[in-house]
Amino acid sequence: MMARSDVDTRMAWRAREEFLASRDASRHPDQVRPEIAASWQRSLANGVDPQGVEPDFHPDINLDGQLCLAAKPVIDKRCEHLGGTGSSLLLGDRSGRIIERWGDGARVLRLLEQAYAEPGFSIAEDVVGTNGVGTVYETHQPALVIGGEHFSEQYFPFACAGVPIHHPITRQLEGVLDITCRRQDANNMLLPWILEVARMVEERLYQQASPDERLLLGRFLAATRRTKHAVVCLNEQTIISNPCAARLLDGVDHALLWEHAARAITADTADTAGPCALTLSDGRAVTVHCRPVDDERSTVGVLVEVLPAAQQRSRTRATGRPARPCLPHLAGHGARWQQVCDQAQRYRERLLPVLLAGEVGTGKLALARAMFADEEQVSVIDAALHPVDGFATWAAGLRRRLDDPGGVVVVRHLEALEARQAQTVCGLLDHAGDSGPRLVATLTRGQGAMMAYGPLVDRFAVATIEVPPLRERLEDLPDLIPVFTQRHAAQPGRRHWQPEVIQTLSRLDWPGNVRQLENLVRRVLVARTTGDISITDLPEDVRVNAPRRRLAQLEQVELNAIVSALGQTGGNKVEAAKILGVSRSTLYRKMRAFGLDLNQSAF
């Protein structure tokens, strides 16, 4: 074994000092390896202090997870061969946080403690800069970092070789395994040795995989041999995709795709699982084929094939971003919503009365205003307000507006008028004739809505647009939420809603539709004034009402108790388990079953 030379170490130190002075690693191509230079550049862009950092501490470590269960027996056995080497092994999770450490030699362990390289601390690259754990997490590639190649000075005493641990079925990054020793003890066997250990951990991960996961892998491999299209095989805990699907779908698409697939295979009608048109978050239209993956007992997942729509309208520019909708004041890119916008565009150009019908809160008035945004005068006459001053006063106001031939009149809530009142309105419309203003009306349908007077509805229904409920346009959630966030955020700036949050919201029935969604966004922003929105930021009642499946009464009681305990502890699962009087592993298991622990699940 050959040690790293002092000449190489001094060269790395000098290159780092020159980089910090110039802030451009490309000026020193011969003095530092390209992967180290790229990491320095990222570390600098992330604002890491090169003099030293104090990373965040997260004590909530799950030692009963798949990664620890697979790694511990392998590493315990391999560490028997490390006696007298002064080396330490670090196991990091998929976020760059250390969850376990093995060591030989008190001196190197003391140095690691001084550098915060111990369980619970995050040494992700964007936190502490270039290192053997964080850089692997960033690139998903093996990394060797020695002495002055570290970005932060506090890691100069070390040599680190880190390798990714991928799940053998999903190929997702599960964690990082790193061997660390003193800089002067570095040798060319560090990386090959730790690579071998990581492969042994991956083999145990495969052995730990459930029969369901192995069945999903088998069906996925069979499907990819038959087609060149995007293929995804998934259930609530696992997602397997080919490169075509990985390029096509992002995190939000995955979440919404699972919700669609789950509904398709559990629907009462067989044809629901047939081809279905969906619109991705970038505006591309696709056709989705869902087939259940069954064993002898039950359905364990879904095999999804995603094909380009056979005859889709081109809504995507060369940049890959969705084109502006024909009604730019409204958010939504899904096929159902685009049909509504296309109808509105056509009817706007024709001098016909328009009826906008739909459930409460679907956005009928917003659609009317967007249709005629270029009109100087759009008057909204709300029939639901006629009891305030009396129908006669309300009808007089409508008559005055109908006598003015300019602009647009929107008569809102036709269903609020009784038959005799509706007859009076019909008379006012007859009196105005064709010389009056452009006429639009809104009608609320659905449970709890009153029946509207038929002849009055017919006056407006020459051109009818059915505004879909939110549950039928869930692919528009990623468009609607940022609009409402920008509208109601207390401070300017972009606020990101994590994909698992949008996926959770897609499980709700949304009886109040878009208005209910906007009110929910306002509630979240009041409680969370800065930073990204995670699953724990959703109100307790929302998380309780968004399980993956319909719960029995006792299960609903358990779910309520878990959500309440998590709320009391700020999401700390260790403390929540103590409040509930259960073990931590029991809490994790129940959270996954109820769809709460989305960090440990694909969906």
- Per-residue pLDDT reduced to its tens digit, 336-346: 888 899 888 88
Has residue 516 got a pLDDT over 90?
yes
Checking DSSP bridges between strand 173-182 and strand 378-382, what pairing results, if any?
unpaired
Which of the 8 DSSP states describes residue 298?
A: S
Q: In 3D, which of 260, 259, 225, 262 has the Cα closest to residue 242?
A: 225
Instruction: Give 598: exposed, middle or buried? Use CB within 10 Å, 0-12, 13-18, 19+.
Output: buried
Q: Report the distance separating Cα 35 and Cα 162, nearest Å.
A: 13
Place of tokens 């890491």: 48
Split at pLDDT 50, 70, 90, the class of 150 is: very high
What confidence score (pLDDT) does residue 311 get?
A: 40
Q: Quote the mean pLDDT of the chain.
A: 82
Average pLDDT over residues 389-406: 89
What confidence score (pLDDT) does residue 25 get?
A: 66
Cα distances (angstroms) measured from residue 603 to each of 95, 97, 211: 18, 22, 19
Q: Report the distance separating Cα 343 and Cα 350, nearest Å.
A: 11
The fold of 6-208 is Beta-Lactamase (3.30.450)
Which of the 8 DSSP states describes residue 212?
A: H
**Contact by Cβ (8 Å): 354, 347:** yes
Average pLDDT over residues 212-228: 87
**Contact by Cβ (8 Å): 73, 204:** yes
The fold of 474-600 is Helicase, Ruva Protein; domain 3 (1.10.8)
**Contact by Cβ (8 Å): 413, 383:** yes
SS3 content of the chain, % helix, strand, coil (to 5): 50, 15, 35
Roughly how many angstroms between the first and final C-alpha of the chain, as a whole number?
46
The separation between CA 180 and the C-alpha centre of its own chain, rounded to angstroms, equals 35
**Contact by Cβ (8 Å): 545, 508:** yes
**Contact by Cβ (8 Å): 446, 468:** no
pLDDT digits (tens, 9 = 90+) for 536-561: 888 888 877 765 554 555 666 777 78
pLDDT digits (tens, 9 = 90+) for 11-35: 777 888 888 888 876 666 567 888 9
Question: Residue 176 is which amino acid?
Answer: V
Has residue 324 got a pLDDT over 70?
no
Average pLDDT over residues 569-578: 81
What confidence score (pLDDT) does residue 268 get?
A: 43
**Contact by Cβ (8 Å): 381, 349:** no
What confidence score (pLDDT) does residue 601 get?
A: 46
Please state which CATH number belongs to domain 335-468. 3.40.50.300
What confidence score (pLDDT) does residue 602 get?
A: 46
pLDDT digits (tens, 9 = 90+) for 153-166: 999 999 999 999 99
If one counts every other C-beta atom within 10 angstroms of the C-beta of residue 162, the result is 27
Q: Report the distance separating Cα 303 and Cα 19, nearest Å.
A: 49
- Residues paired with residue 43 on neighbouring β-strands, in sequence order: none
Least confident of 388-402, 420-434, 565-579: 565-579
Question: Residue 259 is which amino acid?
Answer: E
The separation between CA 333 and the C-alpha centre of its own chain, rounded to angstroms, equals 17
441: which 2 tokens? Answer: 């009306």
Residue 311 CB partners (closer than 8 Å, separation 6+)? none
Q: In 3D, which of 216, 122, 133 has the Cα closest to residue 180?
A: 133
If one counts every other C-beta atom within 10 angstroms of the C-beta of residue 242, the result is 19
Split at pLDDT 50, 70, 90, the class of 567 is: confident
Per DSSP, helices labelled H in 129-180 are 134-139
Question: Residue 76 is which amino acid?
Answer: D
**Contact by Cβ (8 Å): 328, 281:** no
Length of the chain: 603
Has residue 198 got a pLDDT over 50?
yes
Checking DSSP bridges between strand 230-234 and strand 299-308, what pairing results, if any?
antiparallel
Cα distances (angstroms) measured from residue 119 to each of 61, 85, 107, 439, 547: 8, 21, 17, 68, 32
Place of tokens 């009963």: 64
Has residue 269 got a pLDDT over 60?
no
Q: Report the distance separating Cα 319 and Cα 99, nearest Å.
A: 41
| Edge-first strand listing for the sheet containing 239-241 | 239-241, 230-234, 299-308, 285-294, 276-279
Has residue 375 got a pLDDT over 90?
no
What confidence score (pLDDT) does residue 251 get?
A: 66
Is 365 or 7 the better-scoring residue by pLDDT? 365
- DSSP-assigned states of every residue in 570-581: TT-HHHHHHHHT
**Contact by Cβ (8 Å): 592, 535:** no
159: which 2 tokens? Answer: 């040599």
Checking DSSP bridges between strand 378-382 and strand 408-412, what pairing results, if any?
parallel
Cα distances (angstroms) measured from residue 271 to each of 232, 265, 289, 291, 409: 20, 10, 11, 11, 43
- Residues paired with residue 292 on neighbouring β-strands, in sequence order: 302
Hey, what CATH class is 211-308 in?
Answer: alpha beta
Residue 80 CB partners (closer than 8 Å, separation 6+)? none
Domains 6-208 and 211-308 fall in the same CATH topology:
yes
In the chain, where are the structural domains located?
6-208, 211-308, 335-468, 474-600
